């Protein structure tokens, strides 16, 4: 009596964000596209990307809601480039947070502005 054994190996394909109605899981984000009709794919979320270094991405994070870690800065909610800021004795001008604004200034401590919060802000001039 002869037996034939057939092994079937399945490789998991990368998950599409549209496959998961909740969006991406922890450590990932997706673009801010709005899903519409899943059957047509029109407006559907494309994929989940790894959260950039210097940031955190809880489940459901969108590009615009990436949380920037204290000590890091990004130019706007539309960019994925995250830059490490200067630190001096444990203090940094980069406060981090969710809303980076059009110029990234909302990620700076009071009195600081510009790229990586390295410029002093003088409101009186």
Instruction: Give me the chain's average pLDDT, please.
Output: 77
Is it the case that residue 107 has pLDDT exceeding 80? Answer: yes
**What residues make up the domain containing 57?**
16-64
Condensed to tens digits (0 to 9), the pLDDT of residues 2-22 reads 555 443 333 333 444 444 446
pTM: 0.70
Tell me if 55 is assigned to some domain.
yes
Would you say residue 11 lies in a domain?
Answer: no
Q: Which of 59, 60, 48 is nearest to 17 (CA)?
A: 48
pLDDT tens-digit map of 73-95: 999 888 999 999 999 999 999 99
Q: Per the structure block, which two tokens stand in for 112? A: 């600081």
My answer on whether 74 and 125 are in the same domain is yes
10 Å Cβ neighbour count for 51? 20
Domain boundary among the residues 64, 84, 103 is at 64
**pLDDT tens, position by position, 18-66:** 444 467 999 999 987 655 444 445 555 568 999 999 999 999 999 999 9
């Amino acid at each position: 009596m002869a037996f034939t054994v057939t092994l079937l190996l399945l490789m998991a394909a990368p998950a599409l964000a549209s496959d998961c109605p909740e969006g991406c899981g922890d450590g990932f984000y997706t673009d801010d596209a709005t899903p519409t009709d899943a059957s047509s794919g029109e407006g559907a979320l494309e994929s989940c990307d790894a959260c950039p270094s210097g940031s955190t991405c809880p489940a459901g994070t969108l590009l615009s809601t990436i949380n920037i870690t204290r000590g890091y800065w990004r130019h706007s909610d539309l960019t994925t480039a995250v830059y490490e800021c200067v630190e001096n004795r444990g203090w940094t001008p980069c406060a981090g947070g969710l809303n980076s604004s059009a110029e990234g200034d909302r990620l700076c401590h009071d009195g600081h502005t510009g790229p990586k919060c390295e410029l002093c802000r003088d409101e009186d001039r």
